[in-house]
Amino acid sequence: MRNKALFQKNLLAWYRRSHRPLPWRRTRDPYAIWISEILLQQTRVNAAIGYYERFMQRFPSLKNLADAPIEAVLQVWEGLGYYGRARNLHRAARILSEEYGERIPCEPEELERLPGIGPYTAAAIASIAFDRNVAVLDGNVTRVLCRAFGIREPPKKPSTQRQLMKIADTLLPNGHAADFNQAMMELGAMVCKPTGPDCSKCPIEELCVAHRKGIVDQLPLRSAKPKIPVRIRVITAIEHRGRLLLRKRPLEGFLGGLWEFPGVYLKGDEKEEQGLLRIQERVGPRLDVQRIPMGKDFSVKHVYSHFEERNRVYVCEGEGGANKGRGDGAEQTYRWIHPTRLDAYPITGATRKILRKLEQRKTEP
């Protein structure tokens, strides 16, 4: 590759001069770098900072994390979404504690055997924490490479991915993988942004094909975003003596281990009344659908990455009772919780929204 040395020199000098002082960049501790990489998998840097600091405060070492109950981990993770990341982190911490003597492996192949670590995260940890010579390819790096090398193929196509990986590998300067990989990601995040890249501030401007040809805004090629489905969920906010009835979701699966109001997704052309009857079957005598006052229901929308949830919330008085209920053939955990105690529970984002709306309604005339 022509100008490879200039590309490396300009990019590294720029990074050392102008990178953001992010908290995980102040350390080479593999545990801290692992946590930051998992947080950053589906979260923007600015949103991840607070979570990273709280997480490291609550679980300062791998042993702290491995010894903690999953509920404590989910609680720190609450609001961040993609809760599978938290469950995988916890599982991996236990594996590392029991089988690796609390040591985080330095080779990407070994890292990839742990839950929640794919090729990108393995390469990021191995290069940033251990300076292993492996290139990374995330969304930011992909964009920079597509523009810098004028690649006119859809970046998600497997053959383009292979081509990009090859370029990234070739560009990597021996012994400087930590800084170089972070420099590529930083360039994509701060200068070569998805829209309105600031080429005048770019350290590789003179080498960039897209800039030279005036096609920066055409690259990388965009693929149309698929429409996400809408699911209707009927929910009951059941109150009894100032406490609310919440249900813990099964640990495995979507939003596993988080707490929420009892609810069901409507099937086909099922009516909301039928959905309420199905909730009653699950929570038992604590709910009598005949006593749900009409006209007090409201709607709350919540969007996940793969579907949109329209929650129809029915507010009602319930009866006290034991903490077990039935659902989908399995016993489920229900609990009456006073609103002031809810901070002690990891709760779904939709449930938080509903709680805020319930609070607002109390103060509305």
Which residues in this chain contact ligand SF4 in the complex, by CB under 6 A? 144, 147-148, 191-192, 197, 199, 202, 204-205, 208, 210-211, 216
- Closest CB 121 distance from ligand SF4, rounded Å: 24
Q: Which is nearer to ligand SF4, 147 or 248 (CB)?
A: 147
- Closest CB 133 distance from ligand SF4, rounded Å: 23
Residues with a catalytic annotation lie at 37
- Closest CB 219 distance from ligand SF4, rounded Å: 8
Q: Which is nearer to ligand SF4, 210 or 316 (CB)?
A: 210
- Closest CB 210 distance from ligand SF4, rounded Å: 5
Q: Which is nearer to ligand SF4, 135 or 144 (CB)?
A: 144
Q: Which is nearer to ligand SF4, 32 or 204 (CB)?
A: 204
Q: Which is nearer to ligand SF4, 48 or 208 (CB)?
A: 208
- Closest CB 25 distance from ligand SF4, rounded Å: 21
Q: What HEC string does the chain produce?
A: CCCHHHHHHHHHHHHHHHCCCCHHHHCCCHHHHHHHHHHHCCCCHHHHHHHHHHHHHHCCCHHHHHHCCHHHHHHHHCCCCCCHHHHHHHHHHHHHHHHCCCCCCCCHHHHCCCCCCCHHHHHHHHHHHHCCCCCCCCHHHHHHHHHHCCCCCCCCCHHHHHHHHHHHHHHCCCCCHHHHHHHHHHHHHHCCCCCCCCHHHCCCHHHCHHHHHCCHHHCCCCCCCCCCCEEEEEEEEEEECCEEEEEECCCCCCCCCCEECCEEECCCCCCHHHHHHHHHHHHHHHCCHHHCCCCCCEEEEEECCCCEEEEEEEEEECCCCCCEEEECCEEEEEEEECHHHHHHCCECHHHHHHHHHHHHHHHCC
